[in-house]
Structure 1
Amino acid sequence: MLLRTLSAALLSLPLVANAATFTTLVPEKSEIQFHYEQMGVNMDGFFKGIDGSLHFDTDAPEKAQVTLEVQMQSVDTGSEEADSEVVKKEWFNASDFPTATFKAQSITPKADNEYEVAGLLSIKGHEQTIRFPAKVETTDEQATFSGSFSLLRGDYAIGEGAWSKFDIVANDVRIDFTIIATP
């Protein structure tokens, strides 16, 4: 009877996930979306080409190393015409700057599975330090890093010449990301 009661009590305890280290980015499952306004209309798109390296230990998140590279030619706005336009010199200048890069400089735990991330974002040869909240959900097989941040396209010279004004295409751009990694 005591053994049965003890077994039942142990089975009712919540399971604690084992510590894990995630080192392999899974590009085909990862996603980077962008959201902006054009002539007062909400617009969306995403990048299909994501690569990089990471090392995230659930027991030592502050020691994490993350570098993400986004292939600018992989943009998908939902329109072939717009896709071919935004890779031109006035916008992403993808021929001279084929990748945008984010390199984490610090990852600070804030709450369970919640972090403040700071790092250097480089787009089109322009760099800015950005900070944003992120969440990390883990299983033994996978870590899902998600979050959102805003940037000003003017800070990165995205939209030059006639497009440098913000009356047609807004300056504010929101980036949402989901990055998948495995051990």
Structure 2
Amino acid sequence: MKVLAATLVLLAASPALAAGPAPAWSVDKPASKIAFASSFGGTAFSGSFRTWDAQVRFDPNNLPGSSVVVTIDTAAVSTGDPDRDKTLPDTPWFASAKYPKAVFRTQSFRALGGGRYQAIGTLTLRGVTKPLTLPFTLAITGPNAKMTAQMGLNRLAFGVGQGEWAKTNVIPSTVNLTISLTAHRAK
């Protein structure tokens, strides 16, 4: 009887444990984009990743049961400049042959109100794992969701841009990320 009472108290104190994992969402990749922007010698450029995957479980009423894992193919970069697209996967930049994937994995979420949240987790890029808090907005309408996020990321913290490219006089240390995801609740 004491074990049953202790179990009930534990379940009552841990809603996520009682509720289980949040529902899964299927990302509509043609309607979604993971993009970045920077500059080279003062000239702005932008790009995106053509190949990536996102495993999303999210419920604003069950943040402890929510999780996201995003895996990006670092060799699948597209900036509209063939020379830059060929160079970015090389050793001074993403070193895609050795580190083919960048992975963002959440550990928790924080609600900020008004459809604003923070995804708290880690980013592994070029073999370096660092804590990362991603602020995002989310609008859920029935079975559909639209998420947007923008933040600056210090490329040098992950070793992106080695040797002469570690200097910030030609390419700034901060790369601006823009994420736009459209998803549908999985059935």
Same fold (TM over 0.5): yes
CA distances 1:5-48 after superposition (whole Å, capped 9, x unpaired): xxxxxxxxxxxxxxx94422232322111011211122211111
In the alignment, the residues of structure 2 paired with residue 46 and residue 176 of structure 1 have an alpha-carbon distance, to the nearest angstrom, of 9
Match of 1:54 in 2: 56
Unaligned runs of 5+ in 1: 1-19
Report if aligned partners of 2:151, 2:178 keep a CA contact under 8 Å in 1: yes
Match of 2:31 in 1: 29
Match of 1:118 in 2: 120
Cα RMSD of the aligned pairs, angstroms, is 1.6
Match of 1:147 in 2: 149
User: Which among 63, 66, 84 is matched to residue 86 of structure 2?
Assistant: 84
The one-letter amino acid of 1:108's match is: R
Dislocated runs of 4+, deviation >4 Å: none
Paired residues for 1:100-111 under 5 Å:
100-111=102-113
Larger Rg: 1
Match of 1:176 in 2: 178
CA distances 1:33-76 after superposition (whole Å, capped 9, x unpaired): 10112111222111111203110123223431000011112111
In the alignment, the residues of structure 2 paired with residue 62 and residue 41 of structure 1 have an alpha-carbon distance, to the nearest angstrom, of 43
Unaligned runs of 5+ in 2: 1-21
TM-score normalised by structure 2 residue count: 0.82
**When the two structures are aligned, how many residues end up with a matched partner?**
164
Report if aligned partners of 1:37, 1:169 keep a CA contact under 8 Å in 2: yes
Once the two structures are aligned, what percentage of the paired residues are identical? 23
